[in-house]
Structure 1
């Protein structure tokens, strides 16, 4: 687990919690603005130290900490999830990009008899009760932040040993909580998955809309169906829908009809997608406040490395190199 890490934005939750207790400096310096990730070992140590310093009950430290979670602590992934239509869509978005926040064990989101099961195995190790409990409690709290509703878990499992009193956990999660299980798991009711989200962060949407508007202006010289298709792709890329059927659905036509129309214009879907992504990428890269990992997510890539490879193919340069040359 030496190479695992968590997002710095997520770690700042702990520093905000300690600041609210009047002990802002007791953990040392928070992650720097230029530090996108924090090693898991450092996160484990910070949690342990904060638990010792927190004057509240030790047994419920992680639950109190999680109550302060907000979309901003999940970085741009949290804001992108908040921009989804329903809780189910937001959870699927978080699954797709979870490594940008919590790079320990892989998350699996799958339907189950009760509704939706979110599960983490132990393939890459067991990070410990403090890490696990904070993560799962934060995820549960985030569903409530997203929807503005008191979402309750139907069941929660932890791989760690059972504490002396499980009642605080059951009160927090709203359902039965088991310990000493083979995997970490949260089960949500089907009825809650359809809950609408209460709206995206205004500042992030302003950024996304400004960048999209810039691209649309650049596309103004392009007329005919190509302009319509590229304009539709801008919104689809932001929401992570980057397949031909997604574009066909947004244009209210069948995938086969869209393929035929693309052929008539002498363009392939992947080429159209790549051109649109490149223009969006260059617009985002010109804004130094948007980190490279965030650019990758905004373009619908689940890994920054995939974005870097694509950008090299488009421009012959790495994204950071291109940014340095074009933002002087």
Structure 2
């Protein structure tokens, strides 16, 4: 069976190390469809040059995130994400190939994706659901990203996964269903490429694939596979802050205290986090949200007990916070996600 946990708090952000092959594919797509000038403008905006990107194994998360945002703004195309994903090739995934080379089925490959988020790159927390001959991957927007940008990230991911699955197996792998939070759009390219039924204005972004597809054998020769790469050795500022939050949890250090533990002033920490597109409170909220979701889905504690475990004296305050983090009250969230519900119809 696939080594999957139900809930995966794998969202990456800021200066955490993200696989550089992602940025290389995005830049190649930009040059091909919008011109070399736009590709160079993108590089300048994220402070990199072509040579650095070409020879790096990791870049910063914010640089990949910025690139996807820029392409959406350039194209105004709701299908831009999946179009980018459709251009990927296994030979360009250098650091992942040795891990895929050990896989016998597509299910094994998906296990690698879920087991190694730092080598794959993950811009969202996810929830895995298996029921009635299907596996579904539900995206949880715990970062409260703007919905159109989140849609671009999600559609990019489904395009990449599907394109690579077809190359791995030599078969026309298809999704059985796709759910989007955005209002309906034509989606002709999406439908033709994925073979899936599309549902819009859903509670979550989600893709589903049949067990038959997951059982397909891997036939790719892996002649390009090299020695597995290690993760970046130097921890990012985001990693250092998150490590301190987890270390002291549920007690949350004041910004001044945490900055001092990192040998910097609170003003300097605040400025550096802002430059990475985040702040101290959003990181605190992310840690609390992820802890709360994991505890709720475990189903072993009451909401009041979980609130107390997270440091809340007032359970109503926890309910309000949880709704702010996820868009849903804790009880409603559990009803939607503790088991695989029926697929919502478009409204």
Separation in 2 of the partners of 1:20 and 1:186? 28
Unpaired stretches in structure 1, ≥5 consecutive residues: 209-289, 296-304, 306-328
1:148 and 2:170 equivalent?
A: yes
Q: Residues 16 and 34 of structure 1: is their aligned pair in 2 closer, same or farther, counting only changes over 3 Å?
A: closer
Partners of 1:115 and 1:107 in 2: CA distance = 16
Match of 2:179 in 1: 157
Number of equivalenced pairs: 210
Q: Given that residues 95 and 229 in structure 2 are in contact (C-alpha distance below 8 angstroms), is that contact kept between their aligned partners in structure 1?
A: no
SS in 2 for 1:27: helix
TM-score by length of 1: 0.55
8 Å CA contact 1:5–1:40 kept in 2: the answer is yes
- 3-state SS of paired residue (1:132): helix
- Is the 2:170–2:220 Cα contact (8 Å) retained in structure 1? no
- Partner residue of 2:26 out of 5, 11, 14: 14
Q: How big is each residue's C-alpha offset from its partner over 1:130-167, in whole Å with a ceiling of 9 and x where there is no partner?
A: 222111211122111111111111111223x1243133
What's the offset of the Cα at 1:73?
Answer: 4.4
1:171 counterpart = 2:109: no
**Map of 1:293 onto structure 2:** 231
Q: Write the distance in 2 (CA, Å) between the matches of 1:182 and 1:21.
A: 32
1:25 and 1:115 map into 2 onto residues whose CA distance is 44
Q: Indicate how the Cα distance of structure 1 residues 144 and 203 shifts in structure 2: closer, same or farther if over 3 A, else same.
A: closer
TM-score, structure 2 as length reference: 0.53
Of 25, 46, 61 in structure 1, the residue corresponding to residue 80 of structure 2 is: 61
Aligned with 1:193 (options 210, 214, 233): 214
* Alpha-carbon separation, structure 2, partners of 1:121 and 1:78: 28
Q: Is the 8 A contact 2:22 2:64 kept in 1?
A: no
Aligned partner of 2:332 in structure 1 is none
Aligned to 2:89: 70
- Is 1:26 aligned with 2:38? yes
Structure of greater Rg? 1
Separation in 2, partners of 1:75, 1:112: 33
Aligned residue number for residue 115 of structure 2: 96
Task: Give the unaligned 5+ runs of structure 2.
Answer: 1-12, 41-48, 234-242, 244-347
Deviation for aligned residue 1:198 = 1.4
- Structure 1 equivalent of residue 240 of structure 2: none
- Alignment RMSD: 3.0
Matches of 2:74 and 2:98, distance apart in 1: 31
Indicate the SS of the match to 1:177: strand
